[in-house]
Amino acid sequence: MHIKDWVQTRIRQDEIDRYKEESEKDFIDDELIESCLDGMREPDVAYVRQIIAKSLRIETLSLRETAALLYVKDPVLIAEMEEAAIRIKKFVYDNRIVTFAPLYLSSKCVNSCRYCSFRAENGEMERRIVPRDELKKEVQTLAGEIGHKRLIVVYGEHPDSDIGYIVDTVKEIYGSHFTTRKGSGQIRRVNINAAPMSIGDLKRLKEVGIGTYQVFQETYHKKTYRQVHPQNTLKGNYDWRLYTMHRAFDAGIDDVGIGALFGLYDWRFEVMGLISHTHELERRFGVGPHTISFPRLEPASNAPLATESKYLVNDEDFKHAVLTLRLAVPYTGMILTAREDAPLRRRILPLGITQTDASTKIGLGAYSRDSQEQDFKRQQFVIGDSRSLDEVVRDMAEMGFITSFCTAGYRCGRTGNKIMDMLKCGTEGKFCKLNAIITYREWLDDFASEETRRTAEPLIQKEIREVREQNPDMFDMLMAYYEKTAQGSRDLYF
């Protein structure tokens, strides 16, 4: 099919309209957001403390409450917000950080987002779709040599990487197994970051067993959205993107990841947009986003907006945005990516981050090429932290975080509502601690360097002691799985 004809078939207006209520308006109320922000420029100290107490009860904040946190400037209150963020993370997720790698499979794209080097007008980009034999090599490196268990697979929007290609690649990834030092390696959770789809296509993603379906709105501000996404492109349709997650729920996918690309418009507005999106999903489907992402604009070839936007977010404001999001949606997973450099990641991780990537390469075919250099002609933007998974695991262990390679949740049906309820009452954190210990053991034995293993051993022993004290009913079972894993059994989980 000709590209133009294919583009014509993508957007189903009825799969937007069915979600709009009464008026034609969508659920991002610009006026309400602006008025909440305007009214909260000098938040009252007692009010801020009430809000922090609400977050600590693991309740989602209102727009007004979120606006108040966004304007807190008093260092004493900021310190109280930080302390609350740490406590919330500990209560809901314990001291686990889940790790994953991005895998880019296509650089062809019909869109022209002004901040992205994959945009159609960029003649300097090498355009291709990763073929099957090369995909096999990429997965071999990721799962067989580095030791990843989770991927976020990323696709441009193009007929050559349409739903058929996505389904085939997910099957290929799940079907690959590798022998390791002591056991075996395999990708056990494939998350997807791909363009908005119809309910029919999303059902195919559900059938093939994806984990999270992730789509970022980029900017919730409509005027800016129109400016940065040319209106004659598929991505120019704000509503088609905004209601993607509604369609995902209707297709049976209840782990959805939302996000905004920070730097396109005012960062406070984007946080408010993410919270509005969260409220809408909670109200409609009884379950909020599985994860929230907050990528910042990074330099990209032939995309001057990425460096020249007047809304680029500095480190302090970025930290404030992350902190506010942690408090505003206390149960959600929060993803900090390798777009950020190592020192900033160290500063922000403790403030409630639950997932981060490592050994990140975003060039097509870059994992198996084994080149450390970033290549402007082959990748979407420039990353800030290219440390290996081994280094990141060690660094996190030194900070007291156990890296979890657990992928049990969705395989045991703990998705959507089921997992949210457990997270809110703190039981998922305790439960997942067991899987974190088992998968940490597995990874340390299969992939870690001697140095990382030495750093991690005291931490794993401390975790085991905590289970004995805090969750004695599960202790014997944990130790049985732990011993089996240490002897070479793989993929045991609770």
> Contacts with ligand SAM in 450-469 (CB under 6 A)?
none
Choose from ligand SAM, ligand SF4, none: what does 194 bind? Cβ within 5-8 Å by kind: ligand SAM
Binding mask 208-247 for ligand SF4 (x = CB under 6 A): ---------------------------x------------
Q: Identify which of 274, 233, 232, 231 has the alpha carbon closest to the alpha carbon of residue 256.
A: 274
Q: Point out which span in 95-103, 105-113, 281-289, 460-468 binds ligand SF4 (CB under 6 A).
A: 105-113
CB of 393 to ligand SAM, least distance (A): 25
Considering only 218, 254, 266, 445, the residue that binds ligand SAM (CB under 6 A) is 218
Q: Is 298 in the site for ligand SF4 (CB under 6 A)?
A: no
Considering only 156, 289, 365, 429, the residue that binds ligand SAM (CB under 6 A) is 156
Q: Point out which span in 165-173, 292-300, 319-327, 445-453 binds ligand SAM (CB under 6 A).
A: 292-300
Q: Which two tokens stand for residue 266?
A: 């005012």
Q: Point out which span in 19-27, 291-299, 370-378, 445-453 binds ligand SAM (CB under 6 A).
A: 291-299
CB of 464 to ligand SF4, least distance (A): 43
Choose from ligand SAM, ligand SF4, none: what does 381 bind? Cβ within 5-8 Å by kind: ligand SAM
Instruction: Give strand pairing partners of 177.
Output: 186
Choose from ligand SAM, ligand SF4, none: what does 143 bind? Cβ within 5-8 Å by kind: none
Total residues contacting ligand SF4 (rule CB under 6 A)? 9
> Contacts with ligand SF4 in 137-156 (CB under 6 A)?
156
For residue 250, how far is the Cα from the chain centroid?
A: 21
CB of 482 to ligand SAM, least distance (A): 38
Q: Is 261 in the site for ligand SAM (CB under 6 A)?
A: yes
Which of 93/225 has CB closer to ligand SAM? Answer: 225
Q: Which two tokens stand for residue 175?
A: 């079907």
Considering only 55, 66, 95, 111, the residue that binds ligand SF4 (CB under 6 A) is 111
Which of 118/443 has CB closer to ligand SF4? Answer: 118
Non-local CB neighbours of 202 within 8 Å, separated by 6+ positions: 213, 247, 248, 250, 251, 253
Q: Point out which span in 106-114, 166-174, 267-275, 397-405 binds ligand SF4 (CB under 6 A).
A: 106-114
SS (H, E, C) the chain: CCHHHHHHCCCCCHHHHCCCCCCCCCCCCHHHHHHHHHHCCCCCHHHHHHHHHHHHCCCCCCHHHHHHHHCCCCHHHHHHHHHHHHHHHHHHHCCEEEEEEEEECECCCCCCCCCCCCCCCCCCCCCCECCHHHHHHHHHHHHHHHCCCEEEEECCCCHHHCHHHHHHHHHHHHCCEEECCCCEEECCEEEEECCCCCHHHHHHHHHHCCCCEECCCECCCHHHHHHHCCCCCHHHCHHHHHCHHHHHHHCCCCCEEEEECECCCCHHHHHHHHHHHHHHHHHHHCCCCCEEECCECCCCCCCCHHHHCCCCCCHHHHHHHHHHHHHHCCCCEEEECCCCCHHHHHHHHHHCCCEEECCCCCCCCHHHHCCCCCCCCCCCCCCCCCCCHHHHHHHHHHCCCEEECCCHHHHCCCCHHHHHHHHHCCHHHHHHHHHHHHHHHHHHHHCCCHHHHHHHHHHHHHHHHHHHHHCHHHHHHHHHHHHHHHCCCCCCCC
Considering only 267, 381, 410, 431, the residue that binds ligand SAM (CB under 6 A) is 381
Q: How far is it, in rounded angstroms, from Cα 454 to Cα 460?
A: 11
Q: How far is it, in rounded angstroms, from Cα 39 to Cα 37?
A: 5
CB of 116 to ligand SF4, least distance (A): 3
Q: Is 115 in the site for ligand SAM (CB under 6 A)?
A: yes
Q: Which two tokens stand for residue 71?
A: 């304007």
Q: Is 416 in the site for ligand SF4 (CB under 6 A)?
A: no
Choose from ligand SF4, ligand SAM, none: what does 158 bind? Cβ within 5-8 Å by kind: none
Considering only 33, 72, 113, 389, the residue that binds ligand SF4 (CB under 6 A) is 113
> Contacts with ligand SAM in 267-286 (CB under 6 A)?
none
Q: Point out which span in 96-104, 112-120, 288-296, 331-339 binds ligand SF4 (CB under 6 A).
A: 112-120
Q: Is 248 in the site for ligand SF4 (CB under 6 A)?
A: no
Q: Is 103 in the site for ligand SF4 (CB under 6 A)?
A: no
Choose from ligand SF4, ligand SAM, none: what does 216 bind? Cβ within 5-8 Å by kind: ligand SAM
Which residues are near ligand SF4 by CB under 6 A? 109, 111, 113, 116, 118-119, 156-157, 235
Binding site for ligand SAM (CB under 6 A): 115-116, 154, 156-157, 193-195, 215-216, 218, 261, 295, 297-298, 300, 306, 339, 380-381
